[in-house]
């Protein structure tokens, strides 16, 4: 597999090598050792999630308090989504910026999103299926959201998504500036300090 860091520090695109023959194909979509070599620590797997979405469905922007937050390793075994990682770490050199990766059942890429980053995706096909491994279990008291339509972040949703479908929870979420003013966002320093504990085997 090939792993490259995105424009947002601590987020990576993973492209697996697919082995095809007349029976079908085989690939390794997750390798703990290759990921550990890249990010400096292993991904402690605590929960696995799957969502199935109508075309145009937007899920996010979601994030969790750090520590421990949730690192995510995301892929799309069926259909296609455009997956966004948003730097919401106050003080980061790329604060407020985002990058994206097309996850689909052709190239079968994955994306790794470190703790403290915002995550969002939009379904580009009907019944787009997203599966992701996470480093901690869901904790509703530590979970937060940012409105995915926030003009300051300015996510670009592709035309093939069609009409966007958003939950009231996401549209009612604050914008980036409002979330920062309320003290909801992680900081770059806190994130780096937490990553250092992982590098030292502290999790």
Residues annotated catalytic, as ranges: 62, 132
Q: How far is CA 80 from the centre of its chain?
A: 15
Q: Is the dihedral of CA 139, 123, 167, 155 positive or negative?
A: positive
Cβ–Cβ under 8 Å, residues 124 and 55:
yes
Q: How far is 172 from 203, CA to CA, in rounded Å?
A: 34
Residue 178 CB neighbour total at 10 angstroms: 14
CB under 8 Å, gap of 24 or more: what pairs does 196-202 form?
A: 197/67, 198/40, 198/41, 199/40, 199/41, 201/41
């Amino acid at each position: 597999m090939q792993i490259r860091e995105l424009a947002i520090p601590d987020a990576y695109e993973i492209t697996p090598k697919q082995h095809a023959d007349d029976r079908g194909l085989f690939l390794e979509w997750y390798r703990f050792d290759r990921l550990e070599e890249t990010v400096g620590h292993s991904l402690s797997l605590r929960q696995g999630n799957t969502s199935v979405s109508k075309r145009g469905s937007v899920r996010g922007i979601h994030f969790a308090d750090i520590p421990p937050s949730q690192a995510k390793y995301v892929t799309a075994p069926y259909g296609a989504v455009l997956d966004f990682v948003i730097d919401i770490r106050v003080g980061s050199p790329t604060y407020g910026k985002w990058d994206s990766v097309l996850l689909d059942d052709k190239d079968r890429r994955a994306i790794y999103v470190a703790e403290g980053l915002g995550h969002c995706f939009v379904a580009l096909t009907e019944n787009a299926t997203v599966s992701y491994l996470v480093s901690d279990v869901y904790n509703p008291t530590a979970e937060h959201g940012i409105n995915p339509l926030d003009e300051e972040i300015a996510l670009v949703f592709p035309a093939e998504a069609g009409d966007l479908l958003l939950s009231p929870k996401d549209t009612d979420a604050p914008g980036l500036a409002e979330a920062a003013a309320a003290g909801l966002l992680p900081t770059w320093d806190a994130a780096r300090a937490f990553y250092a504990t992982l590098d030292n085997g502290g999790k």
